[in-house]
Amino acid sequence: MTVLSARAVSLVLPALEAAVRAPSPHNTQPWRFEVSGDRIDVLLDPDRVLPVADPDGREARLSCGAAILNLQLALRAAGHASAVHLLPDRTRPTHLATVWLRGPCQVTPEDRAFARAITFRRSNRRPFTDRPVPMWIRHALVRAASLEGASLALLDHPAVLDGLANLLRHAEHLQSEDPAFQAELRRWTSENRHRDDGVPASAGGPRQAPGSLLALRAYPGAERRQERPYEREPLVTVLSSFTDTPLAQLRTGQAMQRVLLTGTTAGVSASFLAQPVEVGSTREALRELLGGQAYPQVVLRFGYGFAAPATPRRRPELVMRPRRPQAEGATR
Protein backbone atom coordinates (compact mmCIF):
# COMPACT_ATOMS: atom_id res chain seq x y z
CA MET A 1 0.00 0.00 0.00
CA THR A 2 1.27 3.51 -0.89
CA VAL A 3 2.29 5.62 2.12
CA LEU A 4 1.78 9.31 1.37
CA SER A 5 3.46 12.29 3.00
CA ALA A 6 1.26 14.93 4.62
CA ARG A 7 1.97 17.26 1.67
CA ALA A 8 0.92 14.65 -0.86
CA VAL A 9 -2.33 14.13 0.99
CA SER A 10 -3.16 17.82 1.35
CA LEU A 11 -1.93 19.22 -1.97
CA VAL A 12 -1.10 16.51 -4.48
CA LEU A 13 -4.06 14.16 -3.99
CA PRO A 14 -6.70 16.85 -4.68
CA ALA A 15 -4.68 17.96 -7.74
CA LEU A 16 -4.58 14.36 -8.99
CA GLU A 17 -8.30 14.11 -8.32
CA ALA A 18 -8.67 16.98 -10.81
CA ALA A 19 -6.17 15.45 -13.26
CA VAL A 20 -8.12 12.20 -13.58
CA ARG A 21 -11.32 14.09 -14.46
CA ALA A 22 -9.78 14.68 -17.92
CA PRO A 23 -11.64 13.15 -20.86
CA SER A 24 -10.18 10.10 -22.65
CA PRO A 25 -11.42 7.91 -25.52
CA HIS A 26 -13.85 5.28 -24.15
CA ASN A 27 -12.86 6.62 -20.70
CA THR A 28 -9.68 4.53 -20.78
CA GLN A 29 -7.79 6.93 -18.45
CA PRO A 30 -4.38 6.13 -19.99
CA TRP A 31 -2.29 7.81 -17.27
CA ARG A 32 -0.18 7.06 -14.24
CA PHE A 33 1.52 9.43 -11.84
CA GLU A 34 4.69 9.23 -9.78
CA VAL A 35 5.00 11.64 -6.88
CA SER A 36 8.08 12.72 -4.94
CA GLY A 37 9.15 15.86 -3.10
CA ASP A 38 8.38 18.81 -5.34
CA ARG A 39 7.54 16.94 -8.54
CA ILE A 40 4.75 14.90 -10.13
CA ASP A 41 5.68 12.77 -13.13
CA VAL A 42 2.96 11.96 -15.64
CA LEU A 43 3.36 8.64 -17.45
CA LEU A 44 1.48 7.06 -20.34
CA ASP A 45 -0.08 3.71 -19.40
CA PRO A 46 0.48 1.63 -22.57
CA ASP A 47 -1.98 -1.03 -21.36
CA ARG A 48 -4.73 1.60 -21.65
CA VAL A 49 -3.98 2.79 -25.18
CA LEU A 50 -6.70 1.54 -27.55
CA PRO A 51 -4.93 -0.78 -30.05
CA VAL A 52 -7.61 -0.49 -32.74
CA ALA A 53 -8.97 3.08 -32.46
CA ASP A 54 -5.67 4.65 -31.39
CA PRO A 55 -2.74 2.43 -32.47
CA ASP A 56 -0.17 5.25 -32.26
CA GLY A 57 -1.33 6.52 -28.86
CA ARG A 58 -2.20 9.94 -30.32
CA GLU A 59 -5.54 10.17 -28.50
CA ALA A 60 -3.98 8.82 -25.31
CA ARG A 61 -1.45 11.67 -25.44
CA LEU A 62 -4.26 14.20 -26.03
CA SER A 63 -5.98 12.82 -22.92
CA CYS A 64 -2.79 13.00 -20.84
CA GLY A 65 -2.24 16.58 -22.06
CA ALA A 66 -5.71 17.37 -20.72
CA ALA A 67 -4.85 15.68 -17.40
CA ILE A 68 -1.65 17.77 -17.16
CA LEU A 69 -3.60 21.00 -17.66
CA ASN A 70 -6.13 19.95 -15.00
CA LEU A 71 -3.26 19.21 -12.62
CA GLN A 72 -1.76 22.66 -13.12
CA LEU A 73 -5.09 24.44 -12.84
CA ALA A 74 -5.94 22.61 -9.61
CA LEU A 75 -2.53 23.43 -8.10
CA ARG A 76 -3.00 27.07 -9.11
CA ALA A 77 -6.44 27.27 -7.56
CA ALA A 78 -4.88 25.87 -4.36
CA GLY A 79 -2.34 28.73 -4.43
CA HIS A 80 0.62 26.82 -5.91
CA ALA A 81 2.40 27.79 -9.10
CA SER A 82 3.90 24.94 -11.14
CA ALA A 83 6.12 24.52 -14.18
CA VAL A 84 5.72 21.73 -16.73
CA HIS A 85 8.44 20.05 -18.71
CA LEU A 86 6.82 17.98 -21.48
CA LEU A 87 8.64 14.83 -22.65
CA PRO A 88 11.60 15.45 -20.34
CA ASP A 89 13.41 12.20 -21.20
CA ARG A 90 13.89 11.48 -24.91
CA THR A 91 14.93 7.91 -24.18
CA ARG A 92 11.61 7.20 -22.40
CA PRO A 93 8.63 8.20 -24.58
CA THR A 94 6.11 7.06 -21.97
CA HIS A 95 7.43 9.69 -19.56
CA LEU A 96 5.09 12.43 -20.77
CA ALA A 97 5.77 15.25 -18.33
CA THR A 98 7.30 16.40 -15.10
CA VAL A 99 5.23 18.94 -13.22
CA TRP A 100 7.45 20.85 -10.77
CA LEU A 101 5.75 22.40 -7.77
CA ARG A 102 6.83 26.01 -7.36
CA GLY A 103 6.11 28.58 -4.67
CA PRO A 104 2.82 30.21 -3.76
CA CYS A 105 0.87 32.20 -6.34
CA GLN A 106 -1.96 34.72 -6.30
CA VAL A 107 -5.28 32.98 -7.04
CA THR A 108 -7.61 34.85 -9.40
CA PRO A 109 -11.40 34.38 -9.71
CA GLU A 110 -10.71 32.90 -13.17
CA ASP A 111 -8.38 30.27 -11.62
CA ARG A 112 -11.15 29.31 -9.22
CA ALA A 113 -13.78 29.17 -11.98
CA PHE A 114 -11.59 26.91 -14.14
CA ALA A 115 -10.79 24.59 -11.24
CA ARG A 116 -14.53 24.31 -10.45
CA ALA A 117 -15.32 23.62 -14.12
CA ILE A 118 -13.03 20.56 -14.07
CA THR A 119 -15.46 18.74 -11.80
CA PHE A 120 -18.63 19.52 -13.71
CA ARG A 121 -17.37 19.33 -17.32
CA ARG A 122 -18.65 16.23 -19.07
CA SER A 123 -19.19 14.89 -22.57
CA ASN A 124 -22.79 15.61 -23.42
CA ARG A 125 -24.03 13.29 -26.19
CA ARG A 126 -27.62 14.47 -25.92
CA PRO A 127 -29.37 16.83 -28.34
CA PHE A 128 -28.60 20.51 -27.81
CA THR A 129 -31.20 23.23 -28.12
CA ASP A 130 -31.35 25.39 -31.25
CA ARG A 131 -30.10 28.45 -29.31
CA PRO A 132 -26.94 29.56 -31.13
CA VAL A 133 -23.66 29.85 -29.26
CA PRO A 134 -23.00 33.62 -29.14
CA MET A 135 -20.04 35.23 -30.83
CA TRP A 136 -18.20 36.12 -27.61
CA ILE A 137 -18.13 32.47 -26.57
CA ARG A 138 -16.96 31.40 -30.05
CA HIS A 139 -14.10 33.91 -29.77
CA ALA A 140 -13.26 32.71 -26.26
CA LEU A 141 -13.03 29.09 -27.49
CA VAL A 142 -10.69 30.09 -30.33
CA ARG A 143 -8.55 32.14 -27.95
CA ALA A 144 -8.36 29.26 -25.45
CA ALA A 145 -6.90 27.01 -28.15
CA SER A 146 -4.35 29.58 -29.28
CA LEU A 147 -3.22 30.24 -25.67
CA GLU A 148 -1.98 26.64 -25.68
CA GLY A 149 -0.40 26.83 -29.14
CA ALA A 150 -3.18 25.05 -31.10
CA SER A 151 -5.75 26.27 -33.60
CA LEU A 152 -9.53 25.89 -33.35
CA ALA A 153 -11.49 26.16 -36.62
CA LEU A 154 -15.20 26.95 -36.30
CA LEU A 155 -16.99 25.26 -39.18
CA ASP A 156 -19.53 28.02 -39.77
CA HIS A 157 -19.41 27.84 -43.57
CA PRO A 158 -22.20 25.48 -44.74
CA ALA A 159 -20.04 23.80 -47.41
CA VAL A 160 -17.27 23.04 -44.91
CA LEU A 161 -19.78 21.79 -42.33
CA ASP A 162 -21.36 19.52 -44.96
CA GLY A 163 -17.89 18.27 -45.91
CA LEU A 164 -17.18 17.40 -42.27
CA ALA A 165 -20.59 15.72 -41.89
CA ASN A 166 -19.86 13.52 -44.95
CA LEU A 167 -16.45 12.49 -43.59
CA LEU A 168 -18.01 11.80 -40.20
CA ARG A 169 -20.67 9.55 -41.74
CA HIS A 170 -18.08 7.71 -43.80
CA ALA A 171 -15.72 7.16 -40.84
CA GLU A 172 -18.61 6.10 -38.58
CA HIS A 173 -19.70 3.60 -41.27
CA LEU A 174 -16.16 2.16 -41.58
CA GLN A 175 -15.85 1.79 -37.81
CA SER A 176 -19.31 0.27 -37.44
CA GLU A 177 -18.35 -2.38 -40.05
CA ASP A 178 -14.98 -3.14 -38.44
CA PRO A 179 -15.32 -6.17 -36.10
CA ALA A 180 -12.09 -5.32 -34.24
CA PHE A 181 -13.23 -1.74 -33.60
CA GLN A 182 -16.65 -2.94 -32.43
CA ALA A 183 -15.12 -5.58 -30.12
CA GLU A 184 -12.90 -2.88 -28.57
CA LEU A 185 -15.88 -0.54 -28.16
CA ARG A 186 -17.92 -3.31 -26.50
CA ARG A 187 -15.06 -4.07 -24.13
CA TRP A 188 -15.08 -0.48 -22.84
CA THR A 189 -18.85 -0.09 -22.70
CA SER A 190 -19.83 -3.43 -21.21
CA GLU A 191 -21.94 -3.17 -18.08
CA ASN A 192 -19.90 -6.03 -16.59
CA ARG A 193 -16.60 -4.21 -16.54
CA HIS A 194 -15.10 -2.55 -13.48
CA ARG A 195 -17.16 0.39 -12.30
CA ASP A 196 -14.34 2.94 -12.44
CA ASP A 197 -13.60 3.23 -16.16
CA GLY A 198 -15.29 2.78 -19.55
CA VAL A 199 -18.43 4.51 -20.82
CA PRO A 200 -21.58 3.58 -18.85
CA ALA A 201 -24.88 3.28 -20.71
CA SER A 202 -26.16 6.35 -18.81
CA ALA A 203 -23.64 8.56 -20.69
CA GLY A 204 -25.05 7.66 -24.11
CA GLY A 205 -27.43 9.93 -25.99
CA PRO A 206 -30.81 9.01 -27.47
CA ARG A 207 -31.05 7.44 -30.90
CA GLN A 208 -30.70 10.12 -33.57
CA ALA A 209 -33.78 10.81 -35.68
CA PRO A 210 -33.26 10.17 -39.42
CA GLY A 211 -31.85 13.22 -41.18
CA SER A 212 -29.60 14.30 -38.29
CA LEU A 213 -26.60 16.11 -39.74
CA LEU A 214 -23.91 14.65 -37.47
CA ALA A 215 -23.38 10.91 -37.03
CA LEU A 216 -22.60 10.60 -33.33
CA ARG A 217 -20.76 7.44 -32.29
CA ALA A 218 -23.26 4.58 -31.96
CA TYR A 219 -22.57 3.15 -28.51
CA PRO A 220 -23.92 -0.35 -27.88
CA GLY A 221 -27.52 -0.24 -26.63
CA ALA A 222 -28.33 2.99 -28.54
CA GLU A 223 -30.75 1.08 -30.74
CA ARG A 224 -32.96 0.39 -27.70
CA ARG A 225 -33.22 4.08 -26.79
CA GLN A 226 -35.88 6.53 -27.81
CA GLU A 227 -35.36 8.46 -31.05
CA ARG A 228 -34.88 12.24 -30.76
CA PRO A 229 -34.05 15.04 -33.22
CA TYR A 230 -30.73 16.79 -32.68
CA GLU A 231 -30.00 20.50 -33.08
CA ARG A 232 -30.46 21.79 -36.63
CA GLU A 233 -27.40 24.05 -36.74
CA PRO A 234 -24.70 22.54 -34.56
CA LEU A 235 -21.54 24.46 -33.75
CA VAL A 236 -18.80 22.08 -34.92
CA THR A 237 -15.14 22.88 -34.35
CA VAL A 238 -11.87 21.18 -35.28
CA LEU A 239 -8.85 21.51 -33.01
CA SER A 240 -5.58 21.17 -34.92
CA SER A 241 -1.86 21.32 -34.26
CA PHE A 242 0.87 22.64 -36.54
CA THR A 243 2.94 19.46 -36.37
CA ASP A 244 1.88 15.92 -35.52
CA THR A 245 4.62 14.94 -33.08
CA PRO A 246 4.00 13.46 -29.61
CA LEU A 247 4.96 16.85 -28.16
CA ALA A 248 2.39 18.63 -30.34
CA GLN A 249 -0.25 16.06 -29.34
CA LEU A 250 0.39 16.66 -25.64
CA ARG A 251 0.18 20.42 -26.12
CA THR A 252 -3.01 20.00 -28.16
CA GLY A 253 -4.44 17.92 -25.29
CA GLN A 254 -3.81 20.89 -23.01
CA ALA A 255 -5.50 23.13 -25.58
CA MET A 256 -8.45 20.71 -25.87
CA GLN A 257 -8.99 20.86 -22.13
CA ARG A 258 -8.67 24.66 -22.00
CA VAL A 259 -11.25 24.90 -24.81
CA LEU A 260 -13.62 22.48 -23.04
CA LEU A 261 -13.29 24.27 -19.68
CA THR A 262 -13.79 27.64 -21.36
CA GLY A 263 -17.03 26.28 -22.79
CA THR A 264 -18.05 24.87 -19.40
CA THR A 265 -17.45 28.15 -17.55
CA ALA A 266 -19.51 29.94 -20.23
CA GLY A 267 -22.39 27.47 -19.78
CA VAL A 268 -22.08 25.56 -23.07
CA SER A 269 -21.87 21.78 -23.36
CA ALA A 270 -19.63 19.79 -25.68
CA SER A 271 -19.25 16.32 -27.12
CA PHE A 272 -16.56 14.63 -29.20
CA LEU A 273 -16.85 13.39 -32.78
CA ALA A 274 -13.54 11.55 -33.09
CA GLN A 275 -14.40 9.16 -35.92
CA PRO A 276 -12.99 11.22 -38.84
CA VAL A 277 -9.66 11.74 -37.07
CA GLU A 278 -9.39 8.08 -36.03
CA VAL A 279 -9.62 6.80 -39.62
CA GLY A 280 -6.48 7.64 -41.61
CA SER A 281 -8.15 8.40 -44.97
CA THR A 282 -10.84 10.68 -43.49
CA ARG A 283 -8.28 12.44 -41.29
CA GLU A 284 -6.27 13.27 -44.41
CA ALA A 285 -9.44 14.43 -46.22
CA LEU A 286 -10.39 16.62 -43.24
CA ARG A 287 -6.92 18.16 -43.27
CA GLU A 288 -7.40 19.01 -46.96
CA LEU A 289 -10.91 20.38 -46.29
CA LEU A 290 -9.41 22.79 -43.74
CA GLY A 291 -6.70 24.04 -46.08
CA GLY A 292 -3.97 21.41 -45.63
CA GLN A 293 -1.87 23.50 -43.22
CA ALA A 294 -2.55 21.89 -39.85
CA TYR A 295 -3.16 18.40 -38.40
CA PRO A 296 -6.71 17.80 -37.14
CA GLN A 297 -6.57 16.22 -33.68
CA VAL A 298 -10.12 16.34 -32.38
CA VAL A 299 -13.59 17.36 -33.56
CA LEU A 300 -15.87 18.94 -30.95
CA ARG A 301 -19.54 19.88 -31.07
CA PHE A 302 -20.77 22.71 -28.81
CA GLY A 303 -24.20 23.92 -27.80
CA TYR A 304 -26.68 24.50 -25.02
CA GLY A 305 -27.65 21.17 -23.51
CA PHE A 306 -29.42 19.65 -20.55
CA ALA A 307 -27.38 18.09 -17.77
CA ALA A 308 -25.41 14.97 -18.65
CA PRO A 309 -24.29 12.42 -16.03
CA ALA A 310 -20.71 12.12 -14.81
CA THR A 311 -18.64 9.09 -15.83
CA PRO A 312 -16.57 7.16 -13.28
CA ARG A 313 -12.83 7.47 -12.64
CA ARG A 314 -10.19 5.39 -10.89
CA ARG A 315 -9.28 7.07 -7.61
CA PRO A 316 -5.94 8.94 -7.58
CA GLU A 317 -4.54 6.44 -5.05
CA LEU A 318 -4.93 3.71 -7.69
CA VAL A 319 -3.02 5.55 -10.41
CA MET A 320 -0.16 7.04 -8.40
CA ARG A 321 2.87 5.74 -6.59
CA PRO A 322 5.94 7.28 -4.98
CA ARG A 323 8.75 7.91 -7.45
CA ARG A 324 11.54 5.31 -7.35
CA PRO A 325 14.79 6.86 -6.04
CA GLN A 326 16.93 5.41 -8.89
CA ALA A 327 14.83 7.39 -11.37
CA GLU A 328 15.99 10.71 -9.84
CA GLY A 329 18.14 13.11 -11.86
CA ALA A 330 15.95 14.64 -14.58
CA THR A 331 16.85 18.24 -15.31
CA ARG A 332 14.66 21.01 -14.00
Ligand X SMILES: Cc1cc2nc3c(=O)[nH]c(=O)nc-3n(C[C@H](O)[C@H](O)[C@H](O)COP(=O)(O)O)c2cc1C
Residues forming the site for ligand X (CB under 6 A)? 23-27, 59, 62-63, 122-123, 125, 199, 217, 271-275, 298, 311
In the complex, the smallest distance separating the C-beta of residue 199 from ligand X, rounded to whole angstroms, is 5
* Between 36 and 182, CB nearer to ligand X: 182
In the complex, the smallest distance separating the C-beta of residue 23 from ligand X, rounded to whole angstroms, is 3
In the complex, the smallest distance separating the C-beta of residue 160 from ligand X, rounded to whole angstroms, is 20
Nearest to 300 by CA among 262, 271, 261, 277: 271
In the complex, the smallest distance separating the C-beta of residue 196 from ligand X, rounded to whole angstroms, is 12
Amino acid at 305: G
Q: How far is the CA of 125 from the CAs of 59, 66, 219, 271, in angstroms?
A: 19, 20, 10, 6
* Between 11 and 57, CB nearer to ligand X: 57
Helical (H) or strand (E) element with 97: strand 95-104
Neighbours of 2 (CB within 10 A): 10
In the complex, the smallest distance separating the C-beta of residue 84 from ligand X, rounded to whole angstroms, is 19
In the complex, the smallest distance separating the C-beta of residue 179 from ligand X, rounded to whole angstroms, is 18
DSSP letters of 111-136?
A: HHHHHHHHHH--B--SPPPSPPPPHH
* Between 8 and 152, CB nearer to ligand X: 152
Helical (H) or strand (E) element with 289: helix 280-289
* Between 33 and 272, CB nearer to ligand X: 272
Instruction: State whether residue 305 is helix, strand or coil.
Output: coil
Which residue of this chain has its Cβ atom nearest to ligand X in the complex? 23
* Between 25 and 305, CB nearer to ligand X: 25
* Between 128 and 272, CB nearer to ligand X: 272
Nearest to 206 by CA among 82, 283, 306: 306
Helical (H) or strand (E) element with 82: strand 80-86
CB distance 303 to 235 below 8 Å? yes
The number of angstroms, rounded, from the C-alpha of 67 to the middle of its chain's C-alpha atoms is 8
* Between 123 and 282, CB nearer to ligand X: 123
In the complex, the smallest distance separating the C-beta of residue 228 from ligand X, rounded to whole angstroms, is 16
CA 83/CA 101 separation, integer angstroms: 7
Strand partners, 241: 295
